Structure 1
Amino acid sequence: MTELQPLDNSHAGVSYAIDETKHEVKTERCGVLSVFTQGSTKNITDNTPVFLTVHDMGSNHTEFHSFIEHPSMARIKARSLFIHVDVPGQGLDSTDLPSDFTFPSMQQIAEDIVSVLDYFQVKYVVTFGEGAGANILARFAMAFPDRCLGNILLHCTSTVAGVMEYFNDKVMNWKLQTIGMHATAEHYLVFHKFGMEIERADNKDKVIKEYIDKLQSRINPKNLRLYVEAFLSRTDISGLLKEHMKVDTLLVTGAKASHLHTVHTMHSHLDPRFATLLKVDDVGDVLHEAPDSLAHNLLLFCQGLGLFSTLPMSRQSSFS
């Protein structure tokens, strides 16, 4: 366990420092996972809200920082523990994974994550994932329903890669493998994260530039390629959802998200008793473009799970 110095971060012109602790958790197939905690890991009770996060391709746990530090999350953050898992080799400034390391599948990552809960002696979590990370956490919730109170899944897909996605991912994969981070790979990852109509979006230039700068300078392209390959080779879990997803699940997407239709497909396969769909208008990246709306609906969802019962609701629209 390593106490980290506060990290300097900024979003939308707001600077803040991150107080987090790094842990190394040994797993069966993922090797030693880098796990970061925000909040106290002491005296965790069954009533302590614990969020387990897994990030998308082209990023790592730091992608959640600006949302958690947003003013709309202050009351939730003060009462919660966030456990962030970095997928192998995806951390900031990561060195190349060993040549003899077999990168795990999405299912294997999901099954190994239970070791993280055991490490912290946490009984139950609310999952909070984005993109590929959301797919991993959906698998985790089905494999370990007794350890999961609910799911908050951003831009999640339950299907295999479609023809165009497969083609685009293969092109990106080739660029990452042969010449490192390349404009083609960058453009695809930007589209994957920020969605449609990027050129028409207001006030996105700064956020997209920061994202590309981080890709170019701090994300290992060889390791990223392996995560992309694992996501590209994912199995279809759509047919398993109705029978095996027995915890409340909030699917979140932006109306301009790149994989909007796949989120709707996943929603149609879930048991309607446990599924809620939140579609935020006029955004592609809900995490960064609509933090107020996401925080409000996160609180509403968690209160439905019996958490944060003493926190008053703010005046905002709820689930669509």
Structure 2
Amino acid sequence: MEEAADTAQVNFEIVDLYSLDRETALIDTPYGGVSVTLQGDKGDPAILTYHDIGLNHCSNFGTFLGSKSMEALADKFCWYHINAPGQEFGAEKLPVDFSYPTMTQLAEQIEYIMDYYQLAHFIGLGVGAGANVLARYAMLNPERVSGLILINLEPQAMSWTHPAWLSGKAVQWQLKGREIGIPRLAAIHLKHHAFGSISGALDGDLVRSYMEELSVQQPNNLALLMDSYHKRSSITGDFIKLMECPCLFVVSGSFTHKETLVKLCSLLPQGKATYLEISNTSGLLLEEQPARLAIALQLFLQGLGLVPALSTHHTCPSLHTSMVLEGISAPLYPIAAS
């Protein structure tokens, strides 16, 4: 019953991390300024978050971290919420001559954030495009990443055969140069990116909350991030060769690249990868199923030795096993410390 109450609660309101007396800094990098909001005590272990396209740190992670399921865990870490350039709430339109960073350059910006806060290493939590950025950073700087939680990661490049390639190009054309407002075609495209084909079966308040948050994004800046994401290079080969930290791959039921990730997990060294599918969900896993994601996160962090052993009845089968989490009482996966 607690899980149901938690899920119902987060469908009605996105927690505003900007209004909670957080420290926000605009950090200069060779690829432009990056807005980072800090949540927690700097003396605690660091978790860096990175959002998906159409979202920012507040709309992507505010609900999850403000949920009842995360009450005990959230305060044990210091959260560094990264916003891709121009994606934070209230961002001004980027100059016409601004060269938006590539996905690899977005990853390189993280090094400057690490230096700014004097961080030796961190755990990464990324969704969609943000998961791709964090994975790239971990390959570039494996010694500074203790673990990754990657939600709906697409490791391959987007070619013209991708279902979203043509519509994505049209949306970018609509958004570029705009000062305010997300046109209808763009909103439909981004809604499908977030929810997949199951949006009609979701709670209406969750969908409305997402659309409201999307409507205040700076459209030109959003187009630039979309363009960078759509032009991404494949990281599959390098990921297998260079990834050293433990990785938890989480996918929603609507995610269309499951086979790619299962294969990727199977090629990584034993003990480094775990794959978890949460069925009957859209891409907004953190908002739809905060209780289930909280358990997954707790177990992962427990495996890294960062939280005490949990009092839980969940069993831990062998590594590299693909799990479909139907309910909070279903068996989960094991986590091995590096």
Please indicate, yes or no, whether the TM-score normalized by the shorter chain is above 0.5: yes
Q: Is the 8 A contact 1:250 1:301 kept in 2?
A: yes
Query: Is the Cα contact below 8 Å between 1:239 and 1:269 reproduced in 2?
Result: no
Whether the 8 Å CA contact 2:199–2:207 is kept in 1: the answer is: no
Provide the C-alpha distance between the structure 1 equivalents of 2:64 and 2:313, rounded to a whole number of angstroms.
Answer: 17
The 5-angstrom pairing of residues 208-219 of structure 1 reads: 208-216=207-215, 218-219=216-217
- In the alignment, the residues of structure 2 paired with residue 64 and residue 128 of structure 1 have an alpha-carbon distance, to the nearest angstrom, of 10
The answer on whether the counterparts of 2:24 and 2:38 sit within 8 Å (CA) in structure 1 is: yes
- In structure 2, what is the equivalent of residue 229 of structure 1? 227
Q: Which residue of 2 aligns with 1:302?
A: 301
TM-fit CA distance, 1:251: 0.5
Q: 1:169 and 1:314 mapped to 2: Cα distance?
A: 44
Matches of residues 150-189 of structure 1 in structure 2 within 5 Å? 150-162=147-159, 163=161, 164-177=163-176, 181-189=182-190
Aligned mate of 2:135, from 110, 134, 138: 138
Q: Distance in 2 between matches of 1:313 and 1:122?
A: 32
Secondary structure of 1:85 counterpart:
strand
Shift of 1:236: 0.6
The verdict on how the C-alpha distance between 1:234 and 1:269 changes in structure 2, with shifts beyond 3 A counting, is: farther
Indicate which of 57, 65, 68 corresponds to 1:68. 65
- Following superposition, the deviation at residue 229 of structure 1 comes to 0.4
Deviations 1:203-229 (A, max 9, x none): 2x111111112222x101100000000
Q: In 1, are the aligned partners of 2:148 and 2:245 still within 8 Å (CA)?
A: yes
What number of residue pairs does the alignment pair up? 302
Distance (Å, rounded) in 2 between the aligned partners of 1:16 and 1:84: 14
1:21-170 to 2 correspondences below 5 Å: 21-29=23-31, 31-41=32-42, 44=43, 48-62=44-58, 63-162=60-159, 163=161, 164-170=163-169
Query: In 2 relative to 1, CA 15–258 (structure 1 residues): closer, same or farther, beyond 3 Å?
Result: same
- Code of the aligned partner of 2:269: D
- Work out the CA distance in 2 between the residues paired with 1:124 and 1:66: 25
- CA gap 1:210/1:262 in 2 versus in 1, 3 angstroms: farther
Q: 1:75-95 deviations in whole A, cap 9, x for unaligned?
A: 111211100000000111211
Cα distance, 1:97–1:274 mapped onto 2, change above 3 Å? same
The answer on whether the counterparts of 2:13 and 2:63 sit within 8 Å (CA) in structure 1 is no
Q: Residue 294 and residue 71 in structure 1: after superposition, are their counterparts in 2 closer, same or farther (change >3 A)?
A: same
Contact 2:16 2:62 in 1 (8 A): no
How far 1:175 moved relative to its partner?
2.2
Structure 1: how far apart are the matches of 2:16 and 2:94? 29
The answer as to 2:333 corresponding to 1:319 is: yes
Bigger shift: residues 175-184 or 250-259: 175-184
Displacement, 1:191?
1.2
TM-score by length of 2: 0.84
Deviation at 1:319, TM superposition (A): 2.7
RMSD, aligned α-carbons: 2.1
TM-score (ref. length: structure 1): 0.88
Partner Cα distance (2:246, 2:196) in 1: 26
Q: For 1:215-274, what per-residue CA distance to the aligned partner results, in whole angstroms no more than 9, with x for missing partners?
A: 22x101100000000001100110111110011000001112354444445435533431
Q: Measure the CA separation in 1 of the matches of 2:309 and 2:156.
A: 38
- Name the structure 1 match of 2:319: none
